[in-house]
Structure 1
Amino acid sequence: MPPVPSVTPDWAYERQHWRRGYFRVAGVDEAGRGAWAGPVTVAAVILPGLATEYPFRDSKQLTAAQREEYAAEVRRVALAYAVEHAWPDEIDRLNILGATHAAALRALERLTPPPQALVTDYLKLRTALPLSAPPKADALSYSVAAASLLAKTERDAVMRELDAQYPGYGFAAHKGYGAPAHRAALEELGVSAVHRRSFAPIRRLLEDGEGGLFPAWA
């Protein structure tokens, strides 16, 4: 297995809450916000407040095999965790940020025991809970890194299922993002039921007619 990346999270943001007496700190992160198809997936994780070192890292820094291994470890050690999806109809109705927030709040509501404070990857949720929302928190906080692992692996599994349901789009490979193969499939097959119609590339394709050419992108 490749070595663990050198960027190492720590407990700095969690400790800010621990000092105030909030020991159940949930990390929150998402996967799939920029994709053209499929859900945006949000995970919330409360790790034991023992300041233990974990191999958890921002999921983007890891191989697929590492992500699966560490996600299983998250489920094993977490005090509580939950994963929620916001599907394209919700994304189109609320916009991507609103749908991400809604899915995050649903995930937090499912945590048992409930969180006392939150650390998110720059996701400024409307909540009464004490909140730290630094940028790049998935690389800096163990709790957010753990959430990133669950969000990414759960969403990847969903996209593999959608690949079987909607053959030809290549969802298992590009996970719904705007890869050249995805654009080519849209030109040939048109827009599927799991594409986000409010996203500009999909909206423009629909405006041109599903039989029209996919618009060129720089």
Structure 2
Amino acid sequence: MRDGETKSGLPSVAKAVEMFSRFPGVGRKSAQRMVQHLLRRERSDMDLLILALEGLRDKVRPCTVCFNLAEGKLCWICADQQRDQNTLCLLEETSDLLAMEKAGAFRGVYHVLGGRLSPLDGVGPEDLHFATLTQRLQQRPVRELIIATNPTVEGEATAHYAVQIAQPLVGKVTRLAYGLPMGGELEYLDESTLYQALAGRREF
């Protein structure tokens, strides 16, 4: 904690600013504005925010099958018997899954790795959900595995590692089409681009 909040004898404000500034894309100035906004709101609004955060902490867990977010044993996708269980889409993060669902082009099921391979950052295969992917494919083989890691250097390395694991276990392994911009992130792409990338996927 530092600067004006602490010097002015407002350690609670300083702590709140510090915590908000840890959010992705939120700098210290933005964090200060967020705290000031909360302080101007009704107390009931802050109570609702606290309840929402407690709900995130106490209720939200990884799905036991695909590692999507869930408030029970299974996420809403794994619990949906109408999904195509023979087509599995491999993603880096739950935010990528939400982008795919928003595009509305995919009716299969997912497996979320929880990140991407990045040796420079100390992230290896054992840090991601590759072991559970292998186990899942062994227990219930699928017709097609669609690799939808992001078109970045790390995403490509992750995709190639996934191919090595999956090819002996899956009928077909495909990759999203390269209409995706190199260095782009799935969660920031519009629905049309994602739809076309899925429709034009190529086989490894």
Report the TM-score, using the length of structure 1 for normalisation: 0.22
Q: Larger radius of gyration, structure 1 or 2?
A: 2
TM (norm. structure 2) is 0.23
